[in-house]
Structure 1
Amino acid sequence: MRRYLRKLFLFGFFTIFYSSICGAQIFDSNKENPYNKVFIDTDNFGDSYLDILEVALPKLKTDSIKFSVLNDLAYYWHTRNLNKALSFAIRGLKITKQKKDTLWHGKFQITQGAILLRMEKLDSAFFVLQEAKRKVRKQDLPKLYTELGYVFERRGLIGKAADYALEALKLGEDLQDKRAIAMAYSDLSNLFWKQSKFDKGLEYGLRSVALFEEVGMNDLDYDFTLYLVGNNYLALKRQEEALKYYNHAIAIGERYGFYNNLSDIYISLTDLNAYLNKFEQAALAGENAIKYANLLDNNFMLMRSWLSLGNAQNLEGKYLSAIKSLQNSIRIATVDFGDNYYLSQAYNSLGRAHAGNHDYQEAYAAFAQYDLLQSKVFTAEADERISQLQTEFEVAQKENTIKLQETEIKKQKLRETLIIVISVMLFIVLTLIYYAYQNIRKKRILLQQQNKEKEFLLKEIHHRVKNNLEIVSSLLALQSAQITDKKTVDVMLHCQNRVHTMSLIHQKLYQRNNLSKVEMKDYFINLSQHVLDSFGNDNRISLKVDMEALEVDIDMAIPLGLITNELLTNAMKYAFPNNKVGEISINLSKSNNNEYTLNFKDNGIGFVGTEVSKGTGFGTQLINLLVSQLGGFIEKHNENGASISIQFCFDKIA
């Protein structure tokens, strides 16, 4: 008992797991229309597909999606179980009637008609389809006419069925609906086959297959068309081609569970194997045909399955078995069965079986029934209508070809005219582009010359400014040599260094190609060396400029240079008393958000006194003024000497 429960649990778990995976493929909540329709949006039509739709149905909120799922349940269940399919169709009809949705009510009636047709309720199917005709849109009519054509085909009215096939074809062409056209070709293939016009049947069947494959539809109707092509090949005694199409159709039918098509195909395989004297394989195919007909609960398929098995037994010489099989076939075909074509075939085969069994009286009676039914099916009117249809269609095809050729000629002339016009316009445009290019080229050359001249002038200006500042510095040096007061000499030295600080910037500018930016690392090194030399401390004080190469605008470089000059001067004067050996480091860095930080540090005696944030001399005032100009702030620390950090943002500079 425990083992049984464990197996039941595992089976349920894997069923839910597999269903959840498949369900995710069928319903996609990320799409505006979450339902992936089978054979259009997804190929996931396995054994669980219909179960997943049935489970999801109560959870659907949008009416249009709910109706679409319910209609698919009805339509695709009719390939497996007709009664269940009909129950879904009736359910859809009730809901759409309550919702007063006439369009969807008509669509459900088309599906109901297809199901009733396969349940041999031909009159009911015809009535329902006629009702649907005035409710649905034009694009739904090809499907409706196809089903109406099946009704008349089953009644043995081949000519009337052909009319509906032609109407569906015209609609498909008007709508440019390749699938509808493929379905019409498939119907014509079936009708020509029933009229024993196998070459034409094969022609239209192959056209249908090509169109189905062009639009990528591997659905129920494509599968049925493969079977029809196989039938026409078989009738033309081209067994290998027939077998190829039958096997392809079986692969699709078994993959998707199309029991009606599988029963059809195995019926034809029974005939094919019997014709090739492969009677064991014929018997096996006949049993498969009966099996799928029973699964579908379809008397039409079941009658034809017994018929094909009886035909095979006739060829094998098993007349008693054939009589039994054929009597089963005829018994299933009730009075209101409707399809005189297959019923006539059953009586013909039964007559041959009785004759083979030397029961000539029974054979005569069966052949009499065959003749009666044949006269109803193959009437002169039907044959004339098929011939007329063939002529009309061929004429229509030729007319279409002529129209297409005329349209193509007009398009060709239009293309030639457009090519000429475009060529003339292109020539004019290219000419204009050429002259515009020449003008732009001349302007570019002129601008390059002007730029070179301006660049030269700017360099000359920077050079002259630098020379003038050096003259000022030299004058200050000469003047300081005449002064004996030490304080005044110090002041003159500070002024001289400040002038040199600005002079050095202009020197850097005219020495580089970029006339608007100064590379600060090299500048700090040259500036620091000059200050050290001016105080005579180049051997006692070591300098470290620890930073990456960094270019800044001249508007930033001048105040930074003056600040650094003042900091170096203060360090020379106060940081290393009594000829103490020391080290100074300078660093300028830039962050991603355009913020700059200037770090100045020495390992001298540090700041002395309580007012570490304010200076008392001109140098300190100048530093504060320049930092304010940069829109920044100063932080001072005593950490193994004096440490000064200045932070500012270049965007804030006035």
Structure 2
Amino acid sequence: MLKTFLGVLWMIVMAAPTKAQLPAGLSQNELRHRLQKSKPDSNRILLLQRLGSTYLQEEYNDVRSSMIDTAIDIFKQGSRLSDSLQLKRFWKECRLLEGDAHLAKMETAAGISIFSEIAAIYHAEGDTLREGQAWLRLAQQMSWEQPYFVTIQVYYDKAIQLFQQVRYSKGEAAARVSMADYLFSANKFNEAEKELLQAIDLHHQTGSTKVSLIYLSLSQINRYRGAYEKSLLYARKSVDNAVRYHDTAIVDAYYGELALVLDELNRCEESSQWYRKALTIRIARNFDRYNLYKTAGLLIRQLVKLNKGREALALTDSMVAMNPPKALFEKALVMQNYANCYEGLKLYPQAEQYYNSMATYYRKAPLNAEVVFVGNLDIGRFYLQRGQFAKAHTYLDSALAYGGARLVDQRELHHMLFAADSALGNYTAAIKDLQQYQLLNDSIYNERKSRQIEELTIQYETDKKEQNIRLLEKETRLQHTELAKEKSTRRWILGVALLLIIIVALLVNYARLKQRTNSKLQVQQLQIEKKNDTLEHLVEEKEWLVREIHHRVKNNFQIVMALLRTQSAYLQGEEAIQAVAESRQRIQAMSLVHQKLYQSDNLSAIHMADYIHELIDCLKDSFSTGNSIQFNLQIDAVKLDIAHCIPLGLILNEAITNAIKYAFPDKQEGTIDVSLKRGAQDHFTLIIKDNGVGLPASFDSANQSSMGMKMMRGLSGDLDGRLQVNNNNGTEIRLDFVSEA
């Protein structure tokens, strides 16, 4: 029923605060990232605890067992670190989390052993409160299936007795609410209701007003045993209490319970409104897909009843588009929702197809018994209404194999079995089904009659108790008022005298303190002004030196270029002259970088649009292209540091030089496109493309041994970039790289 809510909410209420806190809602990746950067201290232990808990919360995962094994390994790391740091409190919590994981994996003996060990330590230390919390946590985390019913009851009783010893009413109330949930799962409805009413009394004694969760549990108990009027009363109380006292942590559950009760009362319009509210909140809070599909499925049933099949189908499509199903159980629920939609639209072949898919997934998925029961009941009802009695009987038999369903659902199941057996001629079985149906019908009637008598008795005792409480509270208030008046008078006289003395002392002290403070501030102000002057002078010197360095580097490059130009005049071979010219152009590309740096206000980055325009102008002048080759530049307004500018400049120089020299033979006219675009997350793309003759069909850039290709590949590697050379109506060179511009 509410085991998940209780296991989380009550442990949060009862857990002792820790010195270090982590932000809520951190993902597994975020936790692992923080863990890698953490030091071996208490904060790392908290990170390990939180990370392991995220794996335990993967309740509806197809690989649940491996998830739990991962959690156990993480908790063991936390235990070892806590032990090495001698942090006993953290070690105990890591061990308890490890126990939670073993219990979740159905390794009950191992889980009980760990919890018993920690409880014994708390007992030896005399920490009765935490000993009680350990036994309560064990009872909550254990599987509530046979054969552990008696054992679980013992653990709950231990926790309640220990809380009573230390007069911890809040803990006792939490234990009784959790035990009521356990009794409910065992179909002990009356005992569960008594525990919940006692928990409400404990809350009232402590002045606590947040009892919405208890009203929710009372509503569920009465709904399951067919007392819908009483269930509706408690469901409305849970919603009203949550709104009035801002107890909205699980307000979607309160809305959902009220919708379920109205659903049982066949008040479809009201029920659909509350289902819609619950679904909206769960979508906003990023609930897991299982709960989203399940809530949407309940709303879809109401829409179908209201003849709004198209709206139901649109809702299903939107839910699947927003949160596509991944695990088997999620796919089963989606198939069930689609089947209900198409059945409501009277598109029976499609409905049958989805029902069959649902049944296939249900056979494979690790879903709880009640969900599978409802699924088999749905498909059995579908085939029964279509007159396919043999198929209907198969699925109704499957539903019969699951226990724990509500009495009204069991009654409907046996009524459908009676109809199927009668149609198939199984009259002996049909008579048994009819007898079981009548027995359940009588049980529901007798249960309701007994509850009416019990409710009248409880109502009388409650009214009498509330009247006595009001009288006692009135007398207590009168006594407190008289005492308060006497104490107030004495305190007022003493307070005024003391206040005058304090004011005089503070004024004197303030005057002295202000005088001393002003003197210190004047001295500090002078020191700060001197330091600021010194720092400003140093910054100016540094900027001048950096600018001078870039200037001198640029001049040195110019000298080298002049030397190469002079040397080329003495060379005879055309290949040597061309090599020197290419070297001079490469040096020119690097020289431009340093020229832009010392001419710019920013000494660490260059505006790429200006740089590329000037580089291309130099190349055009160098090759005397005139108007035969047009350049189209599309450069985003970005600045890059020198580590990226120089490799980019050399790659641009090499690519454009090759295009001018080889793309347009016999001085053909052509166009060279150069673009530098900034993408998402600091990704950049540089493209140099011409519309010339292109590359030979056998060209393979990876196997080229020319100096230009080697240099471009090496420079792209320096940028951690990806270089591509393609034939695309000409030659296209593309470089993708990343830079924090």
TM-score, normalisation: structure 1: 0.47
Structure with greater Cα Rg: 1
Bigger RCO of structures 1 and 2 (CA < 8 A, at least 6 apart): 1
**TM-score normalised by structure 2 residue count:** 0.43
